[in-house]
Amino acid sequence: MNNKIKPPKSWKDLSTHYKIPLRNEWYRVLALLQDEFNFATVSFYRQRGIKSVQLPITTGSISSPMGLGSDSVPVHVQIAGIDTYLADSMQFFLEYSCRINKEGVYYVAPSFRGESADERHLGQFYHSEAEIIGTLDNVIKLCEQYIVYLSNHFLKTLEKEILSVAGTTEHIKYISQHGYNIPKCTFEEAVRILDNNPDFVESYALYRNINSKGEAELMKYFGGYVWLTNFDHMAVPFYQKFAPGANKKIALNADLLMGIGETIGSGERHLSGQEVREALTLHQIDETPYKWYITIKDEVPVQTSGFGLGVERFFLWLLKHNDIRDMQTLPRFNGQKFTF
């Protein structure tokens, strides 16, 4: 399609950006995406009996602490003289809520991380997260149902608007038809596929990581979509369950690669408080802020699994776009002041 709608990149001047969305077509389409995403998410979970929960955005128990395997920096704030953090994820609260609402729980809300914004990352972004009683396989199935549902919904409600930006909706139709059969690839298999090329596979003292270039290669190899599973445990947050028979070296987790790369992160959680203690020790993280989390595992042991979908990353895929900074009407970049 010719004459596709382009983002104005007005966020490059934050002093005047707020005027632009008032009359700009890019931001009109984005506003429609946000509304339909929220509506579809509520409809999806209501059909399955999974409950919405209203949760605080402050926490003393950050889910990506500055320990081994962490990929983000917590956002420290002080409120009325009390030190706390803005939630980087509300997964721990979801695990807690799952013990009250046994059908499963979800929310859509902001997450805060102390990193600089670039084409792939935002310091403040929207998270669609859910937690259910079950295993990693159960939550992968739920994720696939969710993205198929979202795809069908956007095709019904906003296909014309998406076409005006992306120039095609074939990628959405593909997921609508094939989203229940996304291939899976373990981390070890991915390393072999990538020939352990250091341009794609980064090796550290205690773990390995597949970078964004490696993700792109894997998506190309698998035709655009792949579940990357079973990471080195030291490469993921401590709360992911240990894979059985792997001597605590492998995690029961899975990232869905689509669009620009990781769009969903999922995992099975530790069942017992003792498993959490062992993981905290392994990751060299102080147990103190997590005593309440350990206690709920000791007192109400329930096997849960959950996922988080980055909403702006999902929009990148919908619109076949490559700069996440264009996905916020009123952006927030760490370390910069705003007039709005």
pLDDT digits (tens, 9 = 90+) for 203-257: 999 999 999 999 999 999 999 999 999 999 999 999 999 999 999 999 999 999 9
| Confidence at residue 69, expressed as pLDDT on a 0 to 100 scale | 54
Integer Cα distance of 129 and 135 in angstroms: 16
Q: Give the CA radius of gyration of the chain.
A: 20
- Give pTM, 2 decimals: 0.96
| Confidence at residue 67, expressed as pLDDT on a 0 to 100 scale | 56
3-state SS, residue 225: coil
Mean pLDDT, the chain, integer: 95
Mean pLDDT to the nearest integer, 294-298: 97
Integer Cα distance of 288 and 3 in angstroms: 56
Residue written as tokens 């042991």? 301
| Confidence at residue 1, expressed as pLDDT on a 0 to 100 scale | 54
Integer Cα distance of 317 and 321 in angstroms: 7
| Confidence at residue 93, expressed as pLDDT on a 0 to 100 scale | 96
Both structure tokens of 208:
């390995």
pLDDT category, 3, cuts 50, 70, 90? confident
Taking only the tens place, the pLDDT of each residue in 139-182 is 999 999 999 999 999 999 999 999 999 999 999 999 999 999 99
List 112's β-bridge partners, or say none. 124
User: Which amino acid would we find at residue 279?
Assistant: A
pLDDT category, 68, cuts 50, 70, 90? low
Task: Reply yes or no on whether the pLDDT at 105 is more than 80.
Answer: yes
Integer Cα distance of 73 and 63 in angstroms: 10
Question: Where do the DSSP E strands lie in 250-298?
Answer: 253-258, 261-268
Task: Reply yes or no on whether the pLDDT at 339 is more than 90.
Answer: no
Strands 261-268 and 304-310: antiparallel
Mean pLDDT to the nearest integer, 253-270: 98
| Confidence at residue 110, expressed as pLDDT on a 0 to 100 scale | 95
* Helix 91-98 / helix 291-299 crossing angle, nearest 10 deg: 20
Task: Reply yes or no on whether the pLDDT at 53 is more than 70.
Answer: yes
Mean pLDDT to the nearest integer, 21-45: 98
pLDDT category, 62, cuts 50, 70, 90? confident
Integer Cα distance of 136 and 267 in angstroms: 6
| Confidence at residue 64, expressed as pLDDT on a 0 to 100 scale | 74
Both structure tokens of 217:
């290669």
Integer Cα distance of 338 and 114 in angstroms: 17
| Confidence at residue 63, expressed as pLDDT on a 0 to 100 scale | 82
The residue ranges of every structural domain in the chain are 10-327
Task: Reply yes or no on whether the pLDDT at 340 is more than 90.
Answer: no
Percent of the chain predicted with pLDDT > 90: 93
Between 3.30.450.20, 1.10.10.60, 3.40.720.10, 3.30.930.10, what CATH number should domain 10-327 receive? 3.30.930.10
